[in-house]
Amino acid sequence: MKDRTSIIISHRISAIKDADEILYLEDGVITERGTHSELLVQKGAYEDLYRKQLLEEKLDKEV
């Protein structure tokens, strides 16, 4: 999607982790902003959600 802006809204980090920029919203307010790697380093709400989703995926595979 070169030379194009796309807006993707998702609760699943796997759907957006390769985006050039991610905006994390809480109650309609941008609370975190950056790439997937940058947001993980911040250890904020985005990183917490990412860890929870990883655990959920792992548990689903074990069942």
CA 22 – CA 30 distance, rounded (Å): 10
Task: Render pLDDT for 7-58 as a digit per residue (tens, 0 to 9).
Answer: 999 999 999 999 999 999 999 999 999 999 999 999 999 999 999 999 998 8
pTM of the model: 0.84
Task: Render pLDDT for 18-31 as a digit per residue (tens, 0 to 9).
Answer: 999 999 999 999 99
For the chain, give the mean pLDDT. Answer: 93
Residues β-bridged to residue 23: 33
CA 2 – CA 61 distance, rounded (Å): 35
- Give yes or no for residue 1 having a pLDDT over 90: no
